Amino acid sequence: MAVMEERIPTGGKAPSPTTDDTLLVATQWQLIRWKFLRHRVAVAALAVIVLFYLAA
């Protein structure tokens, strides 16, 4: 029977407490806006709809 041996690296340093482990918080509307603004076709369609509205 084969035996798997997993070695744990030694001699490494523990992560320093000054590492950036901050938790970022965003509201639901911020998440929606960020996702929408990344979708270029949706932004272009919104611009067309606004132009139609202003022209009417």
In a domain, 45, yes or no: yes
Contact present, 36 and 43 (Cβ < 8 Å)? yes
CA distance 28 to 45: 22
User: pTM above 0.85?
Assistant: no
Q: Which residue has the tokens 């509205």?
A: 53
**Domain contains 20:** no
CA atoms of 41 and 47, how far apart (whole Å): 10
Q: Which whole number is the average pLDDT over 4-10?
A: 71
Q: CA–CA separation, 54 vs 56, rounded Å?
A: 6
| Res. 54 pLDDT band, cuts 50 70 90 | very high
User: Which structural domain, as residue segments, surrounds residue 44?
Assistant: 26-56
Residue 18 in any domain: the answer is: no
